[in-house]
Amino acid sequence: MTDPYEVLGVSPNAGDDEIKKAYRDLAKKYHPDNYADSPLADLAEQKMKEVNEAYDMINNMRQKGKGTGSAGSTGTSGAYGGSASSSQFYSVRVYIQRNMINEAEQVLNNTPEGNRTAEWYYLMGMCAFRRGWNEEAYNYFQTACNMDPNNQEYRAAINNMNNRRSYNYGGYNTQTNMGGGGCSCCDICTAMMCMECCCDCGRGC
């Protein structure tokens, strides 16, 4: 295994607070919510796992050294994903999960007009999104949402997209003048926190 300090990007002499901060920053960075629907979700999860392991390892090492100290409980990457299995497009979902977009699209395109439910539109959007065709994906998600406004899954996908579309990375703001330096780090943090709250509620599970 690689050096846990390297994984967190801190020096072995760093204080506990510094390590905690580094851990929190990374955990936020690789949080599954940031990569929901992304074709790279599994890689982000992998990173998250590494970070969690490194943090645990450092904590264990330090506790042994000190003999005392409170255990820093780590948030393990929760069980995300796990969508409805009783779906008529089960095979499509499996294909998408394995990044086999061509196969998924083939099944979808062979679906007769009459069977094109909200889920069909949602999955078409998913395929488009994986390909990087953001606009098409957006339209499909919207159709799915309109057909079945109560579905949490579709709503989450569209919320996710809207977040990205209005996302102001680096505090860059289109409405105000850049001269003042845009908004501060605090603003980003609060925005992130709000976003996270919303996402959690939206999932409702």
User: Segment contacting another protein (CB under 8 A): 16-24, 80-88, 101-109, 129-137?
Assistant: 129-137
The answer to whether residue 11 forms part of the interface with another protein (CB under 8 A) is: no
- Cβ neighbours of 124 (radius 10 Å): 24
CB proximity list for 15: less than 8 A, separation 6 or greater: none
User: Segment contacting another protein (CB under 8 A): 53-61, 79-87, 114-122, 162-170?
Assistant: 162-170
What is the secondary structure of 101-139 as a DSSP string?
HHHHHHHHHTS-GGG--HHHHHHHHHHHHHHT-HHHHHH
- Looking at 92, 123, 157, 161, which residue binds another protein (CB under 8 A)? 161
Q: Rounded to the nearest whole angstrom, what is the least distance from the CB of residue 20 to another protein in the complex?
A: 20
Using alpha carbons, list the distances in angstroms from residue 85 to 33, 116, 196. 21, 18, 26
Q: Of 34 and 77, which CB lies nearer to another protein in the complex structure?
A: 34
- Cβ neighbours of 61 (radius 10 Å): 13
- Looking at 3, 24, 40, 91, which residue binds another protein (CB under 8 A)? 40
- Looking at 82, 114, 170, 204, which residue binds another protein (CB under 8 A)? 170
The answer to whether residue 34 forms part of the interface with another protein (CB under 8 A) is: yes
